[in-house]
Chains A and B, each alone.
Chain A
Amino acid sequence: MSLKSILQNKPCDQAEKEVVEKLRQESKSEKLASTQSAKQRDEVRQLLHLIKEDGYPDRKIKKPSKHSFFYLPRLAFASLSLCIACFLTYKGFEKPEKKQIAHDLSLIDDLAELKFQLDFDFVTIFNIESSITEEPTVELDKLVSPIIDFGSLFTNVQIIPPIKSYFPSVENLGTPLVPKEFRELKENTKEGINNLLDSIPFFNEIFPT
């Protein structure tokens, strides 16, 4: 799977290009043959207009710069999540002695899909075909849950099935902080960091103060 081709929404290979071409050709033919289609397209445009006006009134308000300090914790959390997913992929799951029949191969692509906030436009998709859905070899839950809790302060975190079953303690994650709240958090940084460190098991043993 090519992440670049997904994010650019471009066909990966010649076969996909041909499919897209055929889909477009058929649509053009249909549109020429059908007068109803034009009417329906107008309805879709009207719908989009309504959604933009009613549902997203603030969408055009200027976005905070992605280079602002507010986005750094999200970037850090995204990187950390990437490391965790790599760990899960290559170390966290036991390899089977014999090749087992997968429960549902269609779910494999969805095993590790971490979704981040819309305006961050960041998503990581991991192809973990080589791993299986075995119990993790270490108690990842205890290590990862506080990190996820902390990360949810900065971005929307969604743990999707079937990975969800490995993190039973991660529930009811709060909504991410808005920049104003973040500034307040910054003012109490010291206390916040101490709380975070306290919540990570074994941290003091690994890095004694």
Chain B
Amino acid sequence: MDEIMGESTPDENNEHELGVVWSKAKEILSPSAFRSLRLHYGEEITVKEVAIIMGKNKVAIKVILHRSRKKLAEYFKSNPIKL
């Protein structure tokens, strides 16, 4: 199980596959925040399951997701992009 539970998450090591927003998220967020965001919004895993994977409680994951959304929103407000 340790092998699967390594530090990286799906797609995290495949930089070339990441879109513009995900690349920026990886750049400006901490690794654990990016991992939580990736699992929840990228892999559509529930908060409860993300909490199990990350070894945190549900509320901690919700706080991480909240801060990540806020940080990205602020970044894209000042640096608008077109998809």
Residues of A within 8 A of B (CB): 1, 5-7, 9, 11-13, 15-16, 18-20, 22-27, 29-30, 33-34, 36-37, 40-41, 43-44, 46-48, 50-52, 54-56, 109, 113, 115, 118, 121-123, 125
B1:A23 contact, CB within 8 angstroms: no
Total count of chain B residues near the partner, CB < 8 A: 42
Q: A27-B41, A47-B1, A118-B57 are in contact. Are A9 and B76 (CB under 8 A)?
A: no
Q: Closest CB-CB distance, A71 to chain B, in whole Å? A: 17
Q: Which residue of B25, B53, B60 contacts A115 across the interface (Cβ within 8 Å)?
A: B60
Chain B residues within 8 Å of A, Cβ to Cβ: 1, 4-5, 9-11, 14, 17-22, 25, 37, 39, 41-45, 47, 49, 52-53, 57-60, 62-63, 65-67, 69-70, 72-74, 76-77, 83
> In the complex, which residues of chain A have a beta carbon less than 8 angstroms from the beta carbon of B39?
44
| Pairwise interchain contact B76-A41, C-beta atoms closer than 8 A | no
Apart from the given pairs A13-B73, A44-B39, 20 other A-B contacts in the complex at a CB distance below 8 Å = A9-B47, A15-B73, A16-B70, A23-B41, A23-B42, A26-B19, A30-B22, A33-B17, A34-B17, A37-B17, A40-B10, A40-B11, A44-B45, A46-B4, A50-B1, A51-B1, A51-B52, A121-B59, A122-B59, A125-B63
The answer to whether A41 and B43 have CB atoms under 8 Å apart is yes
Contact B62 A9 (CB under 8 A): yes
Cα distance A119–B40 when bound, in Å? 21
Q: Is the CB of B10 within 8 A of A43?
A: yes
Q: A7-B59, A16-B73, A47-B5 are in contact. Are A24 and B49 (CB under 8 A)?
A: no
B65 near A9: Cβ-Cβ < 8 Å: yes
**Shortest distance in angstroms between B83's beta carbon and chain A's nearest beta carbon?**
6
**Contact call A6/B73, Cβ cutoff below 8 A:** no
Give A39 Cβ to nearest chain B Cβ, in Å: 9
Question: Cβ of A19 and Cβ of B59 under 8 Å apart?
Answer: no
Q: A121–B61 Cα gap in the complex (Å)?
A: 12
Bound complex: CA A43 to CA B18 (Å): 19
Contact assessment for B53 and A15 in the assembled complex, using a CB-CB cutoff below 8 Å: no
In whole angstroms, how far apart are the Cα atoms of A23 and B58 in the complex?
21
In the complex, A121→B51 CA distance in Å? 12
Alpha-carbon distance A73/B77, docked complex (angstroms) = 45
Nearest-neighbor residue (CB-CB) of A48 within chain B: B49
Beta-carbon contact of B70 and A12 below 8 Å: yes
Query: Are B52 and A48 in touch, CB under 8 angstroms?
Result: yes
Docked CA distance A56–B49 (Å): 12
Also in contact, A20 and B14, with CB within 8 A (given A13-B73, A26-B19, A121-B59): no
